[in-house]
Structure 1
């Protein structure tokens, strides 16, 4: 005779597993709908939820019950509207606390370096400078003389400009006030030129250091974003100008943007709409 516990277990058969999987997916769709429903900032009614998800009201009620028990969904006692519960904030905070950007980015950086055959950097921002936090060397004989932990000015580097293109006015002011001396004949040295360059970066999605920081070195970079839509890191491809030629910049830009977008997704980030 089966015990009470074993009698209540879901049979381990393909049909039961499919049904459980289907229910889980539909329950998760409720969470996603509530998270994305900008049209109802004070919560969503049962009718709107059922209509939006193309489910019956009875199905929504059945699925939302366990979500309410775990405080993933809350219901307003007066209006009866549903909204995300506080447990989502806890899960999100735990995810962010345990997130390791370098570890998450590492396989993407190695793949990018292999595809482009140039040095790839992962960079953080400490205004008015950028800091290299990871590097994958180029497989070619002539390499970049950069190191993890090294710093460079933001205004004349591709990664720095990738950050600045999405920075607030006070951060931009801090960078400009720190000074913009010419490091090469191509360096941007005025606030007006810098603002115009940052507008171009926002439009095309990537930044270029066109031999502005070091002689004979050209770099292309793109930002990766966090859950708030802020730039959390930037990825760059760097190499001798004789290899990273003007003709290659657009294609390299496409590749670094693709890598940064994938990194944004893996970080749970949200890229802002193009401006």
Structure 2
């Protein structure tokens, strides 16, 4: 049989079936990633089959190409975990965000000067996603990890992004049912609106033990070359080492650092704001 005859006789997979298989495969990958982020060493074949509501043989068929490309890896207990291919994809994504490289030296400087942990986040819907983190030898280790996501509602960074970002974002955040992460979380919509207004007035958002017990945080928005909010930079630490009395001084410092990062990204409005706050009008 000639090659062209072989091609004509090969079975054709309907586009609709291929799309369904792709969606199912991505759902499997996402589930394994989510369980891994939450501390699972591996995810069993049975759990994945139950999650999809399908047979184990179907899961094996769907995961086969992901195992071949190392997006997933089989574990000795016959389960699945993320493979090196997933890590490389994640690294490529992060390296493509100019925000990280622009912010890195400013975050290192701030972490060393304050002894607190610095975070860099980007918005994703009504969540924030951690894309960078800087700790120094003297900082208390935080439970946050690069790639983790949190609701904007419970974080200082989320408040900063809502206060200075797209006007429609406030309504979108309030449309999501509030979840109390601690007994300090603000679940009342009216109070949270007021907190966003205060954030806009002072220039930085505050998380006063609302996301993690005993952790205080302040954050300011980061702008890009189009003067649009593309993320936020924050500092956080134990409330005992980051007292309420220090919030204003440290908050003003975070605002300045976020402006410097924004200038590095080409923001003209951040450059003007820095000139207004720097003696002699020079931007450092």
TM-score range, shorter chain: 0.5 to 0.7
Q: CA deviation at 1:234?
A: 0.6
Secondary structure of the equivalent of 1:209?
A: strand
Indicate which of 137, 140, 160 corresponds to 1:139.
137
| 2: CA distance, partners of 1:168 / 1:191 | 18
Between the two proteins, the alignment pairs up a number of residues equal to 177
Q: 2:250 aligns with which of 249, 252, 257?
A: 252
Q: Report the Cα distance in structure 2 between the residues aligned to 1:243 and 1:271, rounded to whole angstroms.
A: 33
SS in 2 for 1:236: strand
The 2-side partners of 1:99 and 1:128 are apart by: 20
CA distance in 2, matches of 1:142, 1:168: 34
CA distance in 1, matches of 2:266, 2:136: 29
Q: TM-score, normalising length from structure 1?
A: 0.61
Report deviation, 1:233: 1.4
Residue matched to 1:102 = 100
Q: 1:203 to 1:258 in 2, by over 3 A?
A: same
Alignment of 1:13-24 (within 5 A): none
1:169/1:191 Cα in 2 relative to 1: closer, same or farther (>3 Å)? farther
Range that drifts further, 231-240 or 141-150:
141-150
Please point out which of 231, 235, 243 is paired with 1:237: 235
TM-score normalised to the size of structure 2? 0.59
The aligned counterpart of 2:47 is none
- Matched residue SS, 1:233: strand
Please give the alpha-carbon distance, in whole angstroms, between the structure 2 residues aligned to 1:117 and 1:256. Answer: 13
Query: Aligned Cα RMSD in Å?
Result: 1.9
> Given the alignment of the two structures, is residue 153 of structure 1 paired with residue 151 of structure 2, yes or no?
yes
Q: CA deviation at 1:229?
A: 2.3
CA shift, 1:169, in A, is: 4.1
Runs of 4+ more than 4 Å apart: none
